[in-house]
Amino acid sequence: MVRDVTRRRFVKIGSAGTVISLAGCTTTEDPENAGGGGGGNGDDDTATDTDGGNGGGGNQDPIPIGSLFPLTGFWSENGTAIRDAVQFTVDEINDAGGPLGRPLEHIDSDNEGADAQVAVQRMNQMVSQDGIVGHIGPTSGTLPAVKNIVEENEVVAISPAAGTHQLWREGPPWWWRTVADDFLETFAVVKAVQDLGAESAAIIGVENQASKSINTQIENIAADAGLDITTTVLLPTGQSSASSTTSQALSTEPDKLILTCENGQVPSILETMLQNGYDSSDALITSEARSPDTFNQVSDPQIIEGAWSMSASADTESEKYQNWAERFKSTTGVDNVHSFAPPAFDATNVLALAIHAADSTAGADIADQMRPITNSPGKKVSTFEAGRDALDNGEDINYDGITGPINFDEYGNVSGSFAVYQATESEWQVDHIIGPQAVRDFQDSIGS
Amino acid sequence: MINLNFWLDMAIVVGIYGILVLGLNLHWGYTGLLNFGHVGFFMVGAYASALVTLAPQDASVEVLFALDQPIVLGMIASIVFAGVAGLLIALPAIRLGEIALALLTLAFASLIHSLITGEEWLAGGTYGLSNLQKPFGDLIGTSVVLPLPGGLPSVYVNLWSVVYLGVVLGLLLGTYVLIERLGSSPFGRVLKGIREDEEVVEIFGKRTSKFKIYSFVIGAGIAGLSGSLWAHYTGAITPNAFLPTVTFTAWVAMILGGSGNNRGVLIGAFVLFGSRTMTYFVPDIPGYPNLIPTLRLVIIGVILIALMQWKPEGLFSEQPPAHLE
């Protein structure tokens, strides 16, 4: 005999549930048609309505857009940099009057170190409670977890950070990105290694899918380009000590080491290289392994000084970038522009311009405008204000971003530039840029 | 019109965690078995259910198997697979003592996470499995408007969320009843006896290792069921949804509510998630945008420390059986 759960209580609870379920069927309609909206702070809201024309038609409610990044824990250095860049862009857009004459409201959410469970809950919160109409993000680590939520709720998501090639199978109408695909980076990696004078290289990766996939791609491109890959070795995930594996790779006497491992493994690899007569400048750290944290992780700054690294980046030598960086630094007070800040700026501007061009905040309408405002042969614009003015004058626009031309391909991808950095004692400094044309030329030269 | 969808989502997550915590309560609260790898069973259940129900053409990469079976079979598979995993751990570890079990469960959770992350052919690797079936999937995108009497604003909800919440609550209730019945049965009394003093139970002629294995397998199976519910709620699973923080959260909820008391641990789960969610409504402090996110876990930690100080048995301590009162 059970004391707490009797059959009668079970029936009572079950009956109550049935009554509630039946009550739910009293009225069924689309809340958007009923004057409701996609959410918005739990009360009356018209977040997904269609405005009466550019300029707002009297509706001055903020348009909520979300961002979901690690603001605490692992990768928070990247996440907070992106969040700050999105906020900077939103402030600029709002100073210019905002899309549809309404201000954007940036709702930033923390996935607590790219925890997928937290990401699901936070994305649900942004979609259901805050009623976001567009989203900047997420990162590769949490994209699969929130994929269904984004698609089922028809939210346009533009990621400035998810470069992982395998993830990008879906693409439009809901998924877009302003950061270049890792696949393109592998061409830039091989080119950079050869530009540094190497004829051979060894790869140190990690036992995960992303690293394995990149390693295979680098091996194939290297074979076409005449770069001898002496060996590819893999470290277990989460293992910071890499001395024996690095020694194994160095025993094949490569000119350079290409690191596609985890960033926590880089200090051990660099130390082992020095112990084996190699120099830090013989290492090229790809974006998979690159982190500013490495400077704090090495026991002696000289261990990292001289090492090379690479990541997708804006063309930092262009005048357009220089002007933007000046504005960004003076407004936000940061000394160094994070490599994810330009793609975050572009993603936010593209979203705002798509909303304005759509004359609507409905996801499908915004998605329909993503290509016309970026790929068309219209007036080139690099800010929201210029784009909005052109659209209001009835002109076609072609958003030309800080990261470079934003021309979405059929999968919602862009081609971009890659920065090659060299380490000082305390930071990565840009040595040179490999632009989209240089990558294409390299692809043509090796017939790939 | 008031949007209740966020609260429905929160209730679903609390319900799923409630089932997970009930499984842990059977291990620790009833039997005194130290399980520091509960997330491992949660993960096995989620992936088992996903693979059994996934259509081969929906798998983004080739996986071990994708059987395209109904979700009910997926849920059964989740219980069976997690239960078998529990059995494989319990058989060698139970006789070795609680420290061995604690270490083995911790190692198991780490092993299963590394295996699924590293071996793409097994279950999709780092980027997991997506396009998972959702029960009553035709209801997704359909909203229901509920007019309230007395001039109150009407509310609207996603019908799918309402139905899925019903499924979760139904299974939560079923699990609760199962463990309550087990707890008040002779079997449950032996488990509690083992928790209090194993040697005394052995003196009464009970083979305690057998009871501990049963308890461990049932608790693991329950965790597997909650994993299945998580998989079919999100429609996509990746290894980084099954981090040690899941085990930590389940332990905190159990201790907060009062281990050994099923009603208490469920309230613990509700209070834990409720307080955690409420922190998301605290606006950022201008100039210090990272302060509130950083303080979120600190606040939960402070609540836990305060509770340990003033109410170490949890909010709702286990009540002694009526015949002992």
- Residue A426 pLDDT: 85
Residues of A whose CB is below 8 A from B260: none
Q: Is residue A435 within 8 Å of A379, Cβ to Cβ? A: no
Higher pLDDT, A114 or A5: A114
Give the 3-state secondary structure of residue A217: helix
Q: Look at residue A8 and tell me whether its pLDDT is greater than 60.
A: no
Q: Look at residue A53 and tell me whether its pLDDT is greater than 50.
A: no
What is the amino acid identity at position B237? Answer: I
Q: Is residue B114 within 8 Å of B107, Cβ to Cβ? A: no
- Residue A58 pLDDT: 65
In sequence order, the β-bridge partners of residue B237 are B129
Q: Find the angle CA(A178)-CA(A181)-CA(A182) to the nearest 5 degrees.
A: 140
The DSSP-derived string for A313-326 is E--TTSHHHHHHHH
CB contact under 8 A, A208 and B125: yes
* pLDDT, mean of residues A200-206: 95
Q: What backbone phi and psi angles, to 5 degrees, belong to A426? A: -135, -5
CB contact under 8 A, B2 and A167: no
CB contact under 8 A, B140 and A152: yes
- Residue A168 pLDDT: 65
Rounded Cα–Cα distance for residues B7 and A129 (Å): 8
Q: Which helix (H) or strand (E) holds A422?
A: strand A417-423
- Residue B323 pLDDT: 58
Which one of B7, B22, B127 would you mutate to disrupt binding with A, by most A Cβ within 10 Å of its Cβ?
Answer: B127
Q: Is residue A374 within 8 Å of A352, Cβ to Cβ? A: no
Rounded Cα–Cα distance for residues B262 and B222 (Å): 14
Nearest to B293 among A36, A110, A167 (CB): A110
Q: Is residue B60 within 8 Å of B128, Cβ to Cβ? A: no
Give the 3-state secondary structure of residue B1: coil
Task: Determine the residue of chain A that is closest to B170 in CA distance.
Answer: A14
Residues of A whose CB is below 8 A from B140: 152
* pLDDT, mean of residues A138-158: 89
Rounded Cα–Cα distance for residues B73 and A199 (Å): 56
Q: Look at residue A38 and tell me whether its pLDDT is greater than 50.
A: no
Q: Look at residue A187 and tell me whether its pLDDT is greater than 80.
A: yes
Task: Determine the residue of chain B that is closest to A34 in CA distance.
Answer: B145
Tokens representing A65 are 């857009």
* DSSP at A292: T
Q: Which residues contact A299 (CB under 8 A, 6 or more apart)?
A: A267, A271
The mean pLDDT of chain A is 84
CB contact under 8 A, B153 and A43: yes
| E-assigned strand segments in A20-155 | 63-69, 104-110, 134-136
Measure in Å the smallest separation between the Cα of B46 and chain A Cα atoms.
13
- Residue B162 pLDDT: 92
Nearest to B145 among A34, A148, A210 (CB): A34
| A85-99, A233-247, A372-386, B269-283: least confident range | B269-283
Nearest to B294 among A72, A144, A209 (CB): A72
CB contact under 8 A, B147 and A25: no
Nearest to A115 among B60, B128, B240 (CB): B240
- Half-sphere exposure of B140 toward its Cβ, with a 13 Å CA cutoff? 17
Residues of A whose CB is below 8 A from B169: 17
| A107-121, A274-288, B285-299: least confident range | B285-299
Q: Is residue A54 within 8 Å of A392, Cβ to Cβ? A: yes
Share of chain B above pLDDT 70, in %: 96
- Residue A416 pLDDT: 80
- Residue A88 pLDDT: 96
Higher pLDDT, B39 or A34: B39
Higher pLDDT, A48 or A125: A125
Nearest to A39 among B3, B140, B294 (CB): B3
Residues of B whose CB is below 8 A from A214: none
Tokens representing A233 are 């070795």
- Residue B122 pLDDT: 86
- Residue B282 pLDDT: 72
Give the 3-state secondary structure of residue A49: coil
Q: What is the pTM of this model?
A: 0.80
Of A34-43, A344-353, A421-430, the range with the highest mean pLDDT is: A344-353
Q: Look at residue A156 and tell me whether its pLDDT is greater than 60.
A: yes
- Residue B325 pLDDT: 53
Task: Determine the residue of chain B that is closest to A208 in CA distance.
Answer: B118
* pLDDT, mean of residues B284-298: 71
Q: Which helix (H) or strand (E) holds A120?
A: helix A116-124
| A188-202, A296-310, A349-363, B295-309: least confident range | B295-309
Which one of A33, A115, A148 would you mutate to disrupt binding with B, by most B Cβ within 10 Å of its Cβ?
Answer: A148
Task: Determine the residue of chain A that is closest to B164 in CA distance.
Answer: A21
Rounded Cα–Cα distance for residues A197 and A255 (Å): 9
Rounded Cα–Cα distance for residues A114 and A245 (Å): 28
Of A135-149, A233-247, B76-90, the range with the highest mean pLDDT is: B76-90
Nearest to B246 by CA among B29, B37, B23, B11: B37
Nearest to A31 among B1, B118, B184 (CB): B1
CB contact under 8 A, A145 and B140: no
ipTM above 0.85, yes or no: no
Tokens representing A331 are 């407004």
Residues of B whose CB is below 8 A from A209: 117-118, 120, 125-127
Nearest to B2 among A43, A116, A125 (CB): A43
Nearest to A13 among B5, B147, B173 (CB): B173
Residues of A whose CB is below 8 A from B2: 42-43
Share of chain A above pLDDT 70, in %: 85
Task: Determine the residue of chain B that is closest to A35 in CA distance.
Answer: B1
- Residue B319 pLDDT: 72
Rounded Cα–Cα distance for residues B8 and B41 (Å): 25
* pLDDT, mean of residues A329-335: 89
Q: Look at residue B20 and tell me whether its pLDDT is greater than 60.
A: yes
CB contact under 8 A, B146 and A26: yes
CB contact under 8 A, B2 and A71: no
Tokens representing A61 are 């409610």
Give the count of Cβ contacts less than 8 A between chain A and B: 181
- Residue A139 pLDDT: 85
The DSSP-derived string for B62-103 is --S------HHHHHHHHHHHHHHHHHHHHHHHGGG-HHHHHH
Q: Look at residue A10 and tell me whether its pLDDT is greater than 80.
A: no
- Residue A47 pLDDT: 43
Rg (CA), chain B: 21
- Residue B289 pLDDT: 67
- Residue A31 pLDDT: 46
Q: Look at residue A46 and tell me whether its pLDDT is greater than 50.
A: no
Q: Is residue A121 within 8 Å of B9, Cβ to Cβ? A: yes
pLDDT, one tens digit per residue, over A85-119 is: 999 999 999 999 999 999 999 999 888 888 888 89
Higher pLDDT, A35 or A111: A111
| B90-99, B220-229, B238-247, B263-272: least confident range | B90-99
Q: How far is CA A344 from the centre of its chain?
A: 8
pLDDT, one tens digit per residue, over B145-156 is: 888 888 888 888
| E-assigned strand segments in A95-172 | 104-110, 134-136, 156-159
CB contact under 8 A, A115 and B289: no
Higher pLDDT, B3 or B86: B86
Q: Look at residue B21 and tell me whether its pLDDT is greater than 90.
A: yes
Residues of B whose CB is below 8 A from A13: 173
